[in-house]
Amino acid sequence: MKTPVTILAASALMATTSLAADFQTRAVTFENEGATLSGTLYLPADHVPGSKLPMVVVTGAWTSVQQQMPATYAREMVSRGFAAFTFDFRGWGQSGDLPQNVRFKEDPAAKTSDIRAAIRYVSSLPNVDAARINGLGICASAGYMVDAVSGNQLVQSVGLVAPWLQNESLVNAVYGGEKGVTGLIELSRKAAAKGGDIIPAAGPEGADGVLMPIGGYYHNPSRGAIAEYDNRWNQSSWEAWLTYHPADHAQRLDKPLAVVHSQAAAIPEGVKAFLADYAGQVTLQMLENVTQFDFYDNPEDVTRAADTVADHFRTVGNQ
């Protein structure tokens, strides 16, 4: 692995267009594998039609919709001179279903395919500099983003914020050892056999029958528990999720990389494992005492992460 540049810190277009103080959004749709996906194009409020901007495609954590942390980082990218794009994966939010009308399934292969389709779509837009498309993956979608941009000639660079990069060892550590993983895979297969078993994704701390009984971002209406959030989890997700090991995919990545994480956030060991096998150019920023949910919406931490990623994209774009 090359020596990373390490930064240490102390602690079809639709008609609908909305304007904010410093950005505008346009609701769009695009197609992938027979389904229609819902997306949002973010541009500066003063953008001149026809002028081309570097683009950042932003994707979020598992179970999330585009109005959550993807929208937060899209606005940050626009404020730093980029166009940005968010979307709902198939089976989530306002997008169409996965095959067999499946919804709320965390399917790494399907989500990776959707990111590739989103990249192809934005490369055709008149407001986008097709030579300067970047990917930004947050939490679970960091792995999907790595896989989607690897070998993808449409993409110049990638950034990962609070990446959940798991391997077999980390899966066993997080999900109850080999016995726990085996049990969840069995549950997944039973759910798939009956067409899915849908449970709430988020709930208060200690709640029964929910994926994330921890309160916080997904359960708090002033944070991620917004009206657009599905708050659903398909139990048939487990097999695909638990056998997905993006920490082992570093050798696939042929793009310059920026990573922002913290020892206080989720599985930082996955970043170490990934970078140990990554041979490219990397900027690594490890913030102190920043939790996983802080990276989603805490203004100070979002600003620092966005600064690092945007600087990385600009540096690569100027080479």
Count up the domains in the chain and report the number: 1
Tell me the CATH number at 294: 3.40.50.1820
- Identify whether 203 is part of a domain: no
Residues 6 or more apart in contact with residue 182 via CB below 8 angstroms: none
Please give the biggest Cα pair distance in the chain. 57
- Identify whether 198 is part of a domain: no
Q: Which domain holds residue 289?
A: 5-166+245-317
Phi/psi at 158 (nearest 5 deg)? -140, 145
Phi/psi at 60 (nearest 5 deg)? -115, -165
- Identify whether 200 is part of a domain: no
- Identify whether 210 is part of a domain: no
- 84 bridge partner residues: 42, 56
Residue 63 has what DSSP assignment? T
- Identify whether 180 is part of a domain: no
Percent of the chain with pLDDT over 90: 91
Contact status, residue 265 vs residue 162, Cβ threshold 8 Å: yes
Give the three-class secondary structure for 72: helix
Tell me the two tokens of residue 306.
């966005």
The Cα 201–Cα 231 span in angstroms is 5
- Identify whether 219 is part of a domain: no
The pTM score is 0.94
Residues 207-258 have pLDDT tens digits of 999 999 999 999 999 999 999 999 999 999 999 999 999 999 999 999 999 9
Residues 275-296 have pLDDT tens digits of 999 999 999 999 999 999 999 9
Instruction: Tell me: pLDDT of 39 over 90.
Output: yes
- Identify whether 251 is part of a domain: yes
Strands in 83-87's sheet, in edge-to-edge order, are: 5-8, 282-287, 257-262, 157-161, 128-138, 53-59, 83-87, 35-44, 23-32, 13-19
- Identify whether 74 is part of a domain: yes
Specify the length of the chain in residues.
319
Instruction: Tell me: pLDDT of 18 over 60.
Output: no
Query: Residue 94: CA atoms inside 13 Å, Cβ hemisphere, count?
Result: 13
Report the C-alpha dihedral over residues 121, 125, 127, 133, rounded to 10 degrees: 40
